[in-house]
Amino acid sequence: MKKTFHRLAKIAAAIILLTALAPCRQAMAQYYTIGSDPSFVQWNKMKSAHFSIVYPNYMDSVAKVYLYNFERNRKLTNEGMGVEMVNIPIVLHPYTSLSNGTVVWAPKRVDLLSTPEFKGGYGQSWETQLSLHEARHIDQMTHYTKGFFKFLYYLMGEQSSGLGVGMYPSGWFLEGDAVQNETNFSNTGRGRDPDFLMDIKASIMEGENRSYDNWRYGSYRNYAPNKYTLGYLMHSTALYYSDNYYYPGEILKAWTHEVWNLGIYNVAFMRYSNNTARKHFRSGIKLFREYFRQDLEQRGPANYTEWLSNNPNNYYTTYHSPIALPDGKVYAVKAGYEDYSQLISIDADGNEKLLRPFAASGRVSQLKASSDHSLMWSEIIPDERWELQDNSIIREYDINTRKVRNITHGTRYYNPAVTFAGDLISVTEYPLEGGSNLVIISRKDGHKEATVRAPNNGQIKHTVWIGDNMYAGVVTDDGWGLYSINLQDISLGKGVDAWRCEIPDQTRTILNLSNYGDDIVFQTDLDGVTNLYSYSPATGAVTKLTNVPYGAFSPYYDDESRMLYYTYYDNKGYHPVRTPVDSLVNKTASMDEPYKFYFAEYFADMAASHVTPMTQEEQALLKDSIEALQPKHFSKTADFFHIHSWAPLYFSVNRIMNLSYEHYYQLAAPGATILMQNLLGTAETQIGYSYHHGFHAGHLHFVYNGLYPAFELAADYNDRNKHIIHVTEKDGIMSATVDTTRKAALELASKMYVPINLGRSGINSGLIPEIAFNYTNDVIEAAGQKIHYNMDFQYGIRYYRMLPMTKTALMPRLGIGLELRGSYAKGNLNNSGVLGYMHAYGYLPGITKQQGIKLSAEYQYQTGDGNNGSITNLAKMPRGYQSYILRDYAKISMDYALPIYIGDFQPTTLFYFMRINLIPFIDCAIDNLRSDNKVHLWSYGTSATLQGHFFRIGAELQLGVRWSRYLDVPTGLWKNNFQFITSYSL
């Protein structure tokens, strides 16, 4: 019977582990939090017919806008999925500049980062976009509350839905379907965005012949579409050939009701879309290749371009914001698979020079040049403590002194544009309470000179100055428009009424405005490909300037050389180029004649024939009902211990996610588990009972991140027998032997720490002070005395500062770290032990950009009146050795990271191998350092792991072995040690 229990526990551990390794965020989201809002926030809540919403208490009007949009669009997604969407709470997080939404389950909720995208975005409000996309995810997850998973809910709670999503849908299925939904029911959406399909288009038309798994899993050399793009391609193909609008919902229903059918994944695809997913991929490549081919033929020849950099860029590389300055150099921001984000200069011969690390592209605006040849941008600066709070400040780089100056501090300013005189800067402001403003600030000190609300309650994106007139690209519910305002009108305080419409709102983008002599140059997807156009304020004329096959971005015009600088996209990335004005297309265009995206319009017409939106009268009644809602206070205390899941077996979420365990029963065992998490994602609690090998054990794990210091508490009772640990010394080596008693062991661990984020300017940096208390009722016997009630108090601080990891590297190219820790042990005796520990490490570049060197040094000193061993080692033994009790100990190590790309090798559809990672190492250590009885410990060897996807699991795994050859101290012989190693990334 016990053996049966143990086998069941191992199977349960495997199931839970595979669920944790599921291929998409929705699957792992059952144990997922996006971070913490500031602790000072007071929260309100409101409830409509089908949704409740939790939000900061000054955002009543914004909360009502979200409720209205989710209620209004609920019917559109419901009818297409064939399911009645579950009621679910929405949580607004307005303090971060990052824009996103995610549907998570356990506890079920929709987390919305409500600040709109400051760089690109959609031709509709952010609230509308989120309600169309995330509502589709709610519908998808609702399927996993039906059929077999309705039964499973009674056994496991809300986590049962996450388990279901981990079984069948790939991330592309969920995200592609949501993209399809947002495109069908709006005049925009990513299906009408040529940049969205640009990578697929370039790959297909440049002759790459890549497999379904290569696009699904990615590569460490070639760029692969994300799950949104691949998903849209797959769903478009399936929908086009099956002509079955309801097939996504029908497939999900089959997956949730026919779990007993092990082949239901492909059976459902065949039954409702007439083909398997892999065959849809192959059909989709042929379908879109022909579509792209015809489109490129109709566009005619591309315009002349001069490439600026002679960097070979064998790996996918991106550049943005190329700007030519009078020193004869072009400045740009570069990043890529083998390059961290950095500001570079390119000389006349095409040679690149690194100037400084730079923030990642998602956190900075386009570069702008001032008349005195400084570079300017906005940059998101993370809060020191709260993951969901940041600021966006205006920064300036002097190309002569190479110094960066912060013009503003603690602001939410984006996308600067400087006047020709150079004294004023226009920026976009996104207030926490919603909407957007044009703000004029002083370049000298960042002082706010004036504020004007955006026209038509829109969202201002980018601005540019021509004389005393400021022009802004603005997004409203009717699309993208170009508006202007005079500086004098701003000074006179005329406000929002002073805006003048230059280009009426329409569906195509108006982004990255820049000066073009007396005109404006901007990028737009007017003709179905993002190209560069000019607008004449004097005549209102729009002129097409470039004609490229895939996309042109980041325009900058140099009046002296009469060159237009921009970035040009192909299957290797974004490249800095320039074109003489005389070689531009210069073709008259009209913003009233936008390109029609064939597939987007085809599917939108199909959706319209199946789904009926709300009438104007119904929308008016809905709006009135939402406006009548009264907010109530949301109590963080009442929501603190929110039970969302349970299970008739024990498993440790923390150990599974960190793969931290000594025995399998610490991952899972017969028993019971209760999981709790509050709606704000700051408090997580797990209570469990387990049975293994005759032990009836109790477990508790608690984490709270809602205050400035974070807290963790863990307790295990009767998970094993109480130990008597005998500490002995032989040949200068202190070791421990264990006697087992019949009494229950009690282990307690608590920790308080402050994770301080000091990252700036593309450099990762942090400071983490912490204190911890550990207790066990084990007995330590040393020097003829027994220490009962063994406990220790630990304290320490960690600091790190390093360049970010690139996609292809295993280590940062440069970085340092330092950890200082102490431990104070106390038992029933008057004497006690004290341990001091220091760990310093650094990273250096290797021979190639993918390779790297890590140098580290550790030192530990332990005292205790002969009771050494009462404190657990903090220092690590050389690899290959068993653990000894260390006293006066020092160790130095060197590791060399050597990733080897193996061509995305796929022997069968079950396996997809991406690269082999070799890390040779050498460790040298001495114990009893200041004693005549020194102990020398030496080891060397290598770890070798195969990285890829195994058994079609979506998470990327590393499996391998570490070989260590070490000097055995008692025998003086060299011995071998082999250890299986694994890691995964979600």
Which pLDDT belongs to residue 958?
94
**Contact present, 424 and 440 (Cβ < 8 Å):** yes
Pick from 207-221, 616-630, 649-663: least confident: 649-663
Pick from 16-30, 764-778, 782-796, 937-951: least confident: 16-30
Average pLDDT over every residue of 310-325: 93
Q: Considering the chain, what percentage of its residues have pLDDT values greater than 90?
A: 79
Q: How far apart are CA 534 and CA 542, in angstroms?
A: 6
Q: How far apart are CA 901 and CA 314, in angstroms?
A: 13
Q: How far apart are CA 320 and CA 342, in angstroms?
A: 11
Q: How far apart are CA 825 and CA 324, in angstroms?
A: 63
Which pLDDT belongs to residue 25?
38
Domain boundaries, the chain: 168-299+596-630, 307-517+546-580, 709-985
Which pLDDT belongs to residue 190?
95
> Quick one: which H or E segment has residue 284?
helix 277-299
pLDDT digits (tens, 9 = 90+) for 741-762: 889 999 999 999 999 999 988 9
Residue 148 CB burial class (10 angstroms; 0-12, 13-18, ≥19) = middle
Give me the CATH topology for the region 709-985.
Answer: Porin (2.40.160)
Q: Is the pLDDT of residue 31 over 80?
A: no
pLDDT digits (tens, 9 = 90+) for 242-255: 999 999 999 999 99
Which pLDDT belongs to residue 955?
85
Nearest to 299 by CA among 469, 526, 510, 472: 526
**Residue 870 binned pLDDT confidence (cut-offs 50, 70, 90):** low
CATH superfamily of 307-517+546-580: TolB, C-terminal domain (2.120.10.30)
Which pLDDT belongs to residue 550?
98
Per-residue burial over 47-85, b = 16 or more CB atoms within 10 Å of its CB, e = otherwise: ebebbbbbbbeebeebbbbbbbbbbbbbbbbbbbbebeb
In DSSP notation, 24-58 reads SHHHHGGG-------TT--EEEEE-SSEEEEEETT
Q: Which two tokens stand for residue 266?
A: 């492909």
Which pLDDT belongs to residue 173?
96
Which pLDDT belongs to residue 869?
56
Which pLDDT belongs to residue 629?
97
Check for a shared fold between 307-517+546-580 and 709-985: no
pLDDT digits (tens, 9 = 90+) for 122-146: 899 999 999 999 999 999 999 999 9
pLDDT digits (tens, 9 = 90+) for 153-163: 999 999 999 88
**Residue 3 binned pLDDT confidence (cut-offs 50, 70, 90):** very low
Cα angle value 613/614/615 (rounded, 5°): 115
Nearest to 185 by CA among 73, 103, 102, 101: 73
CB-facing half-sphere around the CA of 554: CA atoms within 13 A: 27
Average pLDDT over every residue of 833-853: 95
Q: Is the pLDDT of residue 13 over 50?
A: no
**Residue 403 binned pLDDT confidence (cut-offs 50, 70, 90):** very high
Average pLDDT over every residue of 637-643: 94
**H helix intervals, 583-651:** 598-610, 616-627
**Residue 27 binned pLDDT confidence (cut-offs 50, 70, 90):** very low
